Amino acid sequence: MKTIIVASTNPVKLTAAVEGFDAMFPDEEFRVQSAKTVPSISVQPMSDAETLQGANERAHLVQQAYPDADYWVGIEGGAEEYQAQLGTFAWVVVLDRERMGKGRSGEFFLPEKVAALVRQGVELGEADDRIFGRNNSKQQNGAVGLLTGDAVDRAGLYVPAVIFALIPFKNPELY
């Protein structure tokens, strides 16, 4: 059984990693562990580049801390301004001993009430909780779940990005 270390204690990120690995490698069994990491980026990344940097740092931090694992996964949610609207998305970085895979989630745009708080430096999860009267939504359905009525929740947004990041591992002869 292979071991996956996810650089987060957030159950949403663990679920996304498990579902992504299971989708790409249905005949394999995995043991998934979580590990808290603190990348050098902002608590709320505010650009595509900073978000990717956070996912990359997270994956490398757990690789250093847990060198005997088989895979190391960093997932980072971020936001970026586009024509006076704030879009939000996530980057995923997966490492093994030989390669790195990267994948990005879809993107959606925040309502202005939420976006205004994020622009003021409030983390998206906290902004959601304030606007929607929730508690700890980032470890549940997240902004996307709140805004879509759970047609897509936070884990559902992240799973395709995990799958995209696993493409080089599914096709090692091409990478």
How far is 25 from 19, CA to CA, in rounded Å? 10
pLDDT of residue 146: 87
Is 19 part of any domain?
Answer: yes
How far is 170 from 175, CA to CA, in rounded Å? 10
- 34 in Cβ contact with 63 (< 8 Å): no
pLDDT of residue 174: 94
* Low-confidence stretches of the chain (pLDDT beneath 70): 136-139
pLDDT of residue 138: 64
pLDDT of residue 126: 86
- How many domains is the chain built from? 1
pLDDT of residue 128: 85
Is 27 part of any domain?
Answer: yes
- 102 in Cβ contact with 72 (< 8 Å): no
The full 3-state SS of the chain, as one line of letters, equals CEEEEECCCCHHHHHHHHHHHHHHCCCCCEEEEECCCCCCCCCCCCCHHHHHHHHHHHHHHHHHHCCCCCEEEEEEEEEEEECCEEEEEEEEEEECCCCEEEEECCCEECCHHHHHHHHCCCCHHHHHHHHHCCCCHHHCCHHHHHHHCCCCCHHHHHHHHHHHHCHHHHCHHHC
Residues near 82 by beta carbon (within 8 Å), at least 6 away in sequence: 109
Question: What tens digit of pLDDT does each residue of 113-125 get?
Answer: 999 999 999 988 8
pLDDT of residue 140: 74
pLDDT of residue 136: 64
Q: Provide the 10 A C-beta neighbour count for residue 148.
A: 14
pLDDT of residue 125: 85
Is 136 part of any domain?
Answer: no
Distance of CA 76 to the CA centre of its chain: 4
Q: Which domain holds residue 95?
A: 2-107+153-174
Q: What is the CATH number of the domain that holds 99?
A: 3.90.950.10
pLDDT of residue 173: 94
